Structure 1
Amino acid sequence: MKFFLDSCDLNEIKEISDYGFIDGVTTDPSSIAHEVCKGSTTEQVIGSIIKAVNGEVHIQVVAQDYDTIMSQALKIHSLGMNVIVKIPATFVGLKAMLKLNDKKVKCSASSVYNSVQALMAAQNYAEYVSIRTGAIEINGKDGMELAYIASETFKNSKFDSKVLVTNITNPEHIVRAGMMGVGAISVPYNLIKMLGSHINTEKDIVEYMQEWNRIPESSRTFFNR
């Protein structure tokens, strides 16, 4: 299972990338717009993210008609072989995914809210099918259940598409994603920071150091050399 950071904040990306456990970064137009409001251009934000990431970078088109989606998708693809083009799972978007597959452009079907959308995206060769679990649960449904159904459907139908669990809002989403063996998850910075440490881990370190410091200075030969 691939592990992506869901962020456009360059400081967050650099910090988490240094830890080494992420496979890339996912972005969306809203998060890019938030960074642009700090004083950069869209080109600067996207370019900086790609330079900072040693892995996949997911960038979404911002168009609704077929011709513009294709044009934007090809421009995104030109930024590097590690760049995945995100396209909303509309009928027009699905058509674009099919045509882009002929051009060897890897796409991620975004904003998937039901199993039929997921199936159609996989049928049109989407590299990833992104299930927005948190947004689905706001509407009173189980987003992870949809991720499970899509994942099992892809396996049974021999599709190469991978389920990408996005819009993760709590630790249970991550646990369930791992248990069901989805292709990837995308986790926001704050949740990574919260889950990447534990009060008992910190407690263990304090206790170990207290015991270690009881050793006379003259006997601490191993690390003092």
Structure 2
Amino acid sequence: MLYIIDTANLEAIEKAYNFYPMAGVTTNPTIISKENKNFLVILKGIRKIIGAESMLHVQAVSLTAEKMVQEAEYLNSVIGGNLYVKIPVIPEGIKAIKILKQKGIKTTATAIFTAQQALIAAVAGASFVAPYVNRIDNISGDGVSVVAQIVQLFDQYDIDAKVLAASFKNVQQVHNVALVGGHSVTVNPEILDAMLAHPLTDWSVNQFVNDWESVYGIGKTTIDVK
């Protein structure tokens, strides 16, 4: 499982990379615009924090294949590193993915709501496909089931592309995606923290400390006890 954080907030990214086994960062036009700062300054700041090897997913905003390709080439040149250009699964987007594959620029197919969209994008050359789990649920679908179908199709046809499940409302959705074999998830900072949180974990740790300190002294650690 690859864990990726879905934000453009530099403080949140730095915290995530400090504490968790992060594989990368995803952004989209909405997330970027919320920061209300220069676009390139944000992206270069992210790259500085995560390093050249970590994945950075950045979305093209054009609606024609020609312009999407131009955006992808530009982003690849100015941001660099392990970059994936996010392309929506509209006909122009699929065309762009095919062209970018030939040019050696990696892509993530986004705004996916069906397994067939994901399959077409992967066959066209996308490295990742991003189904929107909670948004599928919101239209009376089953987001986790769509992820499972994509995983099955990729296995069946021996496709190298990976599922990057996105759009989560809670930890249970993330867990269910993991159970059906989703290759990676991108989650916001709140869900990332919540994935480790449990009151009984906190209780257990506090109990261990209390029991230890009752014998060996408050604030003492294994290093201090001779």
Interval containing the TM-score (normalised by the shorter chain): over 0.9
Residue 115 of structure 1 deviates from its aligned partner by 2.0
Structure-2 residue corresponding to 1:19: 19
Superimposed CA distance per residue, residues 129-172 of structure 1 (whole angstroms, 9 cap, x where no aligned partner): 10001111111100111111111001101111111110011222
Which amino acid letter does the alignment assign opposite residue 137 of structure 2? Answer: E
Pick the aligned partner of 1:44 from 41, 45, 61.
41
Structure 2 match to 1:149 = 149
**Residue type matched to 1:206 in 2?**
N
Are positions 1:114 and 2:110 aligned together?
Answer: no
How far off its partner does 1:118 sit? 1.1
Deviation at 1:216, TM superposition (A): 4.8
Q: 2: distance between equivalents of 1:10 and 1:98?
A: 32
Name the CA shift for 1:94/1:208 in 2 (closer, same or farther; >3 Å). Answer: same
2:210 maps to 210
Structure 2: gaps of 5 or more residues: none
Aligned residue type for 1:168: F
Question: Residue type of the partner of 1:77?
Answer: N
RMSD over equivalenced CA pairs, Å: 1.5
> By how many angstroms is 1:221 displaced?
8.9
CA distance in 2, matches of 1:5, 1:171: 14
- Give, in whole Å, the separation in 2 of the partners of 1:116 and 1:25: 26
Q: Indicate how the Cα distance of structure 1 residues 87 and 221 shifts in structure 2: closer, same or farther if over 3 A, else same.
A: closer
Unaligned runs of 5+ in 1: none
Amino acid at match of 1:84: Y
Give the match for residue 62 of structure 2: 63
Asked if the contact 1:125/1:160 (under 8 Å) is kept, the reply is no
Deviations 1:92-149 (A, max 9, x none): 0000100101111110000011122111101101000100011111111001111111
Structure 1 stretches of 4+ moved >4 Å:
none
Measured in 2, the distance between the counterparts of 1:221 and 1:125 equals 54
User: Is 1:165 equivalent to 2:162 in the alignment?
Assistant: no
Q: TM-score, structure 1 length as denominator?
A: 0.93
In structure 2, the partner of 1:28 is 28
Change (3 A) 1:221 1:192: closer
* Identical-pair percentage: 24
Whole-angstrom distance in 1 between the partners of 2:221 and 2:41: 51
Please give the per-residue CA displacement for 1:54-94, whole angstroms capped at 9, x wherever unaligned: 41010000110122111101112222231111000111000
SS at match of 1:213: helix
Quick one: structure 1 residues 221 and 7, their matched pair in 2 at CA, closer, same or farther if it must change by over 3 Å? closer
* 3-state SS of 1:23 partner: strand
**TM-score, structure 2 normalization:** 0.93
Equivalent residue, structure 1, for 2:195: 195
Partner secondary structure for residue 223 of structure 1: coil
> How many Å apart are 1:20 and its aligned residue?
3.6
Query: Residue 139 in 1 paired to residue 139 in 2?
Result: yes
Aligned residues: 220
Distance 1:92 1:197, change over 3 A: same
2:179 counterpart residue number: 179
User: Any residues of structure 2 matched to 1:90-109 within 5 Å, and which?
Assistant: 90-109=90-109
